[in-house]
Amino acid sequence: MQVGFIGFGEVASTLSQGLMENGVDVYTCIVGRGKRTNELAKKTKVKLYNSYKELAECSDILISSVIPSNAVNVAEMVGKYSNGIYVDMNNISPNTVRKTLAMIENGKTVDAAIIGSVLKNGINVKVIASGAFADTFAKLGNYGMNITVVGPENGQASGIKLLRSNYTKGVSALLFESIYHAYKLGIDKEVLNYISETEGQNFIDSAVSRIISTAFNAERRSEEMVEVIEMLSLKQNPVMSKATLKFFNNLNKNIKLNKRPVNYGEIFKIISED
């Protein structure tokens, strides 16, 4: 079994490491790529092809893990050479997934989405997949990956990822706003305690971590919300989701953090000073 990666950053290098440890032949191509990609390829000891054409022709499973804005371009680049199954693993909306996978001439395509952090979970990170060839892709579960097939259509896996992300970001925005105002009144611990009576024992730890991540990743989250709004606006006016986007845009304007704070007090102080 030969697996190829287009793009060799955090996702590809982490998954490659695990697949190789489980006996899979893993290849990539780093022609024209940056310093970090070259270093990751060297460190992982992944095998290299000298062209994307060769990589696409020889891979039984070819995984695209580039950056969201290049998902369509790379699929177009290898579309007529891909012989095996082409898997898009980028964070893109169902519409963009369908546009991307339409570039693959043999039609053997999979829509895949990573749920969680690759850095934290390694090869065991949860991956959901949909599309006519998702079952074949899921066989990489025999080589250490953690893949669940969620449906037969392209767009379903990325739809789940985006809607889950819409929900968690909306809840985080509301939590941040509530605890910020509680903090200003000196009752943040009490409010968290009272909410935990309905939300369960682990609520306080996860709420604190969420508030910190909300501020630390505000820029990335506002970009992801743009994709969500684009998806939801096709059918209706997504009022709550638009409010979440506005919240993250405002937060991003008001706070820039170079490192992750250890407690939310640091964040709330910065905002109060503005």
Residues at the contact surface with ligand NAP, assessed by CB under 6 A: 6-12, 33-34, 36-37, 65-68, 70, 73-74, 89-91, 114, 117-119
Question: Minimum CB separation from ligand NAP for residue 99, in Å?
Answer: 15
Reading the block at residue 124, the tokens are 């065991």
Q: Render 198-261 in DSSP notation, one character per residue.
A: HH-TTHHHHHHHHHHHHHHTHHHHHHHHHHHHHHHTTTS--HHHHHHHHHHHHHHHH---SS--
Cβ closer to ligand NAP: 46 or 192? 46
User: For the CA atoms of 40, 44, 47, 52, what is the dihedral angle to 10 degrees?
Assistant: -30
Question: Minimum CB separation from ligand NAP for residue 118, in Å?
Answer: 4
Question: Minimum CB separation from ligand NAP for residue 53, in Å?
Answer: 13
Cβ closer to ligand NAP: 61 or 192? 61
Reading the block at residue 109, the tokens are 């395509």
Strand ranges (E), 52-125: 61-64, 85-88, 109-115
Strands 61-64 and 47-48: unpaired
Question: Minimum CB separation from ligand NAP for residue 171, in Å?
Answer: 19
Cβ closer to ligand NAP: 226 or 243? 226
Reading the block at residue 3, the tokens are 């697996």
Question: Minimum CB separation from ligand NAP for residue 79, in Å?
Answer: 14
How far apart are alpha carbons 178 and 203 in whole angstroms? 15
Cβ closer to ligand NAP: 155 or 182? 155
How far apart are alpha carbons 274 and 3 in whole angstroms? 51
Cβ closer to ligand NAP: 38 or 83? 38
How far apart are alpha carbons 96 and 85 in whole angstroms? 18
How far apart are alpha carbons 255 and 268 in whole angstroms? 10
Residue number closest to ligand NAP, CB atom: 9
How far apart are alpha carbons 207 and 256 in whole angstroms? 21
Reading the block at residue 131, the tokens are 């599309």
Question: Minimum CB separation from ligand NAP for residue 60, in Å?
Answer: 20
Cβ closer to ligand NAP: 59 or 65? 65
Question: Minimum CB separation from ligand NAP for residue 22, in Å?
Answer: 20
Cβ closer to ligand NAP: 174 or 223? 223
